[in-house]
Amino acid sequence: MRTRTTGNAGFGILPTCVTATLLAGCATPSQPRNSAPENWHTWQQQRRESVAGTNGWTTIVGLYWLKEGRYTVGPGPEAAIQVTPEGPRGEFIRAGANVWFHPAPGLAVTVDGRSVDTAIQLASDAPGPATKLNYGQHQLWLLERGDRLGIRVRDRASAARRDFHGLSYFPWQARWQIEARFEAHPAGQTLPIRDVTGATKSEPNPGVIIFLHDGREHRLEALADAETQDLFILFRDGTSGSSTYPPGRFLHAPYPDAQGRVILDFNRAYNPPCAFTDFATCPRPPAENQLPFPVSAGEKRH
């Protein structure tokens, strides 16, 4: 999965409440039950940076899918890939699975800190790392989504970043820090995940997380996140479309311990990148992960 940034940053070590059944919430002995841990505030700061920092999602201003052929880059409406007047000029050329960038005469971009003024072939973000073309406040790179290739454009002086007013959260509550049980699927099992562009990809689905809420058992299918080395959950709940982002939210959880226990901390549920830019390719929660109750925890609607 490649549409996330620091969603799980600063997760920290959560205390494990050993109970006879899977019950919600626990706090450290020195901390009042509904007093937010310091690392939750640190996580919020890192979330803000991932949204409105110099490489945040509010800086993403374009995504252009490439077919075979040539695509000009420039500030005018005649350019196939548009940037501001301060942006780079040149041409992208796609030939099969290969894409090159040709800077305009006299223009040099930087790649990994070195100046480049001649044609350069681009590596995509799958599996990555992508070749990042930098020019002033702009950064352009090649996305690969299945058999599709596209150019994503970042402008660190974007209006969305300039006008960003912060993130809003439900108050931290210990009852949304839930001890759950992990039930493994057969090795190699995958789950089809559809993204906002309509494409579907089979993602590694190592197991299901089972937990109790108000005395009833609920299940969330978990994906394996190779980037963050943990479990990744896409879910919707009773707040989706009202107080939280309509398509659903994201949540990370550590892999289970030796007893198969997992901590679900819904206080760290967060909005996908699509809440902040129209040019992300966010995955949608599967039908299995629709919770029939409101999760009044984590990040609110932007």
The two tokens of residue 268 are: 């760290």
Q: Looking only at Cα atoms, what is the longest distance across the chain? A: 71
Report the pLDDT value the prediction gives residue 35, as an integer from 0 to 100. Answer: 77
Angstrom distances, CA of residue 100 to CA of 36, 118, 123, 134: 49, 10, 9, 15
Report CA 123 to chain centroid distance, whole Å: 21
Report the pLDDT value the prediction gives residue 34, as an integer from 0 to 100. Answer: 64
Amino acid identity, position 104: A
The long-range contacts involving 81-84, CB below 8 angstroms and separated by at least 24 positions, are 81/140, 81/151, 81/153, 82/153, 83/138, 83/153, 83/155, 84/138, 84/155, 84/157
Give the model confidence (pLDDT) of 54-91 as tens digits.
Answer: 999 999 999 999 999 999 999 989 999 999 999 999 99
The two tokens of residue 258 are: 């030796």
The two tokens of residue 190 are: 């995958």
The long-range contacts involving 183-188, CB below 8 angstroms and separated by at least 24 positions, are 183/207, 183/208, 183/209, 183/210, 183/260
CB burial readout 121-137, b (16+ within 10 A) else e:
ebbbbeeeebbbbbbeb
Helix (H, G, I), strand (E, B) or coil at 200: strand
Domain map (residue ranges) of the chain: 38-55+166-289, 59-155
The position carrying tokens 């002995």 is 29
Residue 80 backbone dihedrals phi, psi, to 5 degrees: -70, -35
- Of 202, 253, 207, 250, the residue nearest 229 (C-alpha): 253
Which residues in the chain land under pLDDT 70? Answer: 1-34
Residue 108 backbone dihedrals phi, psi, to 5 degrees: -125, 130
Q: CA-CA distance, 136 to 114, in Å (whole number)?
A: 14
Q: CA-CA distance, 16 to 177, in Å (whole number)?
A: 10
Amino acid identity, position 215: G
The two tokens of residue 252 are: 């990370």
* DSSP state for residue 45 in the 8-state scheme: H
Report the pLDDT value the prediction gives residue 33, as an integer from 0 to 100. Answer: 58
Do the Cβ atoms of 267 and 172 come closer than 8 Å? Answer: yes
Pick the CATH number of 59-155 from 3.20.20.450, 3.40.630.10, 3.40.190.10, 2.60.200.20: 2.60.200.20
Give the model confidence (pLDDT) of 11-62 as tens digits.
Answer: 333 333 333 233 333 444 344 556 789 999 999 999 999 999 999 999 999 9
Q: CA-CA distance, 74 to 142, in Å (whole number)?
A: 17
Report the pLDDT value the prediction gives residue 249, as an integer from 0 to 100. Answer: 98
The two tokens of residue 257 are: 């311990």
Report CA 10 to chain centroid distance, whole Å: 15
Radius of gyration of the chain (CA): 21
The two tokens of residue 55 are: 């490489």
Do the Cβ atoms of 212 and 23 come closer than 8 Å? Answer: yes
